Amino acid sequence: MSQKVSTPHTTSDLPNNLAKVMSNDRRLSWQIATNLFLSFKYAWAGIVYGLQTQRNFRIHVVMCIVAIGLSVLLHLQTVKIAIIAITSGLVMTLELLNTAIESIVDLTVKQSYHELAKIAKDCAAGAVLISAMAALLVGGILLLPPLATLILSYW
């Protein structure tokens, strides 16, 4: 017999201190940002949320840093570093979109199961997987030959 896990759907369902923090931080988030600074603030809040709550997003960020760092260390051409950065950025972007889609689906279906919700979540996760595999291929093609040359030069 499976247990139904209850998650809060409104700030009134949360403990007082957490509800207060959430309502203060996001009470006006539904409004259009009145200036460019607020737009960046909200975008940064999404990135921070991804870093704080999404293990896979943190993994993608670390892999991006490693790939770009290795690119610089190996003195790759600027265009190759840019290709690695763009590919890595695409993976991280899709991971954040996946998180957004999952949040919207969870908000919509709450704790009930719906086949269309499963399809939406699975397809979003599949998009991230495809982009991660493409990034791995790009990174392998661009990084492995100079890395192998460097390693073999020490033997």
- Do 142 and 76 meet the contact criterion of CB atoms below 8 Å apart? yes
> How far, in Å, CA of 31 to CA of 56, rounded?
30
Active site residue 115: no
Alpha-carbon distances, residue 28 vs 19, 31, 42 (angstroms): 14, 6, 11
The burial class, CB within 10 Å (0-12 / 13-18 / 19+), for 74 is: middle
Q: Which residue has the tokens 């939406």?
A: 120
Catalytic-labelled residue, pool 50, 94, 95, 124: 95
Q: Integer distance in angstroms from the first to the last C-alpha of the chain? A: 60
* Active-site annotation, residues: 95
